[in-house]
Amino acid sequence: MLSEIEQFQKWLRRKAPHSSTHIHYTSDLEKFFEWVSKPIQEVCVQDVDAFIEHFQEEGHAIATINRRLAALRSFYQFLAMMQENAPANPVRLKRHFIRQGQHLPRDVQDKDLEQLFAVITSPRDRAMFLLMLRCGLRVGEVRNLSMEDLYLYSIPGSLPRLWLHGKGDKERVVYLSSQAMAALETWLKQRPDGSEQAVFVNRSGNRLTVTGIQLLLAANCERAGVWVTCHQLRHTFGRHLVEARVPVTTIQKLMGHARIRTTEIYLHISDTQVQADYEAAMEQVMERLSLAERAS
């Protein structure tokens, strides 16, 4: 790893110790400089143009490319702050960032969820994935969860809850359903003791990584014959809340969205009123024009 990238990583970690940004940005920068094969001082605007074109041709998601551009831009801003003769920033906002259309969250069908959870025998894995499905946790929030964040024994008028360090290092409280609570208690009874305060640890007693959790889900998916991502479990939590007619402002708080516009996207996945209106309209249309097939 280049020494400048290592310094940048340490700086990001100091700024936001509970965030995974330093991990992703470091990986993005290493990929860029491996691809460009140039010293930091020689990277130019045209290199960034070529970088975008190359990764688009390889079929990388727009969000991934934009994140790598953000990492590169932040890196050069860091250099400008730390060095007197820092190189010019090769990333131009108006020129390089790619516009994205609005995409609906991809949830998981209930039958696939039943198939998946039928094969999850590990109490630890079951607890982790139920926290995503029943409480809307992001994979990074599951990874960062520590014993001091658990408030499992409720007092009158208060549900068992978790204190989370969420996206952007924002804190929020989420409540535990009875199913998630039972799974978490089962795991905690078997959790190995040690100095590590992480709720979810590996066989060595060390905190699991985000990649480790994702690989565990992939292994369970392979056994179940389905494909589900950690974030799809969270999306499905949002859909279930919409189907239960939970107010959108409550869903926003439970999912930790900064803007209600983000939460409103979930209304398009399963809008019961739109479905009912559509069904009633089609019944009326078919009464007037059935388009029945004629006997041959």
Sign of the C-alpha dihedral, residues 65, 68, 74, 78? negative
Q: Dmax of the chain from CA atoms?
A: 86
Name residues whose C-beta falls within 8 Å of residue 49's C-beta, 6 or more positions apart in sequence.
95, 96
Identify the residue whose tokens are 């696939």.
112
Active-site annotation holds for 54: no
Strand partners, 172: 164
Active-site annotation holds for 67: no
Identify the residue whose tokens are 């990874």.
143
Q: Which entry of 31, 172, 231, 239 is annotated as an active-site residue?
A: 231
Name residues whose C-beta falls within 8 Å of residue 286's C-beta, 6 or more positions apart in sequence.
none
Q: Which entry of 68, 138, 191, 235 is annotated as an active-site residue?
A: 138
Q: Which entry of 124, 134, 191, 266 is annotated as an active-site residue?
A: 266
Active-site annotation holds for 234: yes
Alpha helix positions (H), the chain: 3-15, 21-36, 45-57, 62-82, 93-96, 110-117, 123-135, 139-144, 178-190, 210-224, 230-243, 248-255, 260-264, 272-288
Active-site annotation holds for 257: yes
Active-site annotation holds for 76: no
Q: Which entry of 22, 143, 234, 240 is annotated as an active-site residue?
A: 234
Residues 23, 66: Cα–Cα separation, whole Å:
16
Asked if residue 136 lies in contact with residue 165, where contact means CB atoms within 8 angstroms, the answer is no
Structure-block tokens of residue 88: 């010019």
Identity of the amino acid at 7: Q
Number of neighbours of residue 158 by Cβ within 10 angstroms: 10
Sign of the C-alpha dihedral, residues 179, 183, 186, 191? negative
Active-site annotation holds for 96: no
Structure-block tokens of residue 202: 């590996």
Q: Which entry of 13, 31, 161, 167 is annotated as an active-site residue?
A: 167
Number of neighbours of residue 147 by Cβ within 10 angstroms: 11
Catalytic residues: 138, 167, 231, 234, 257, 266
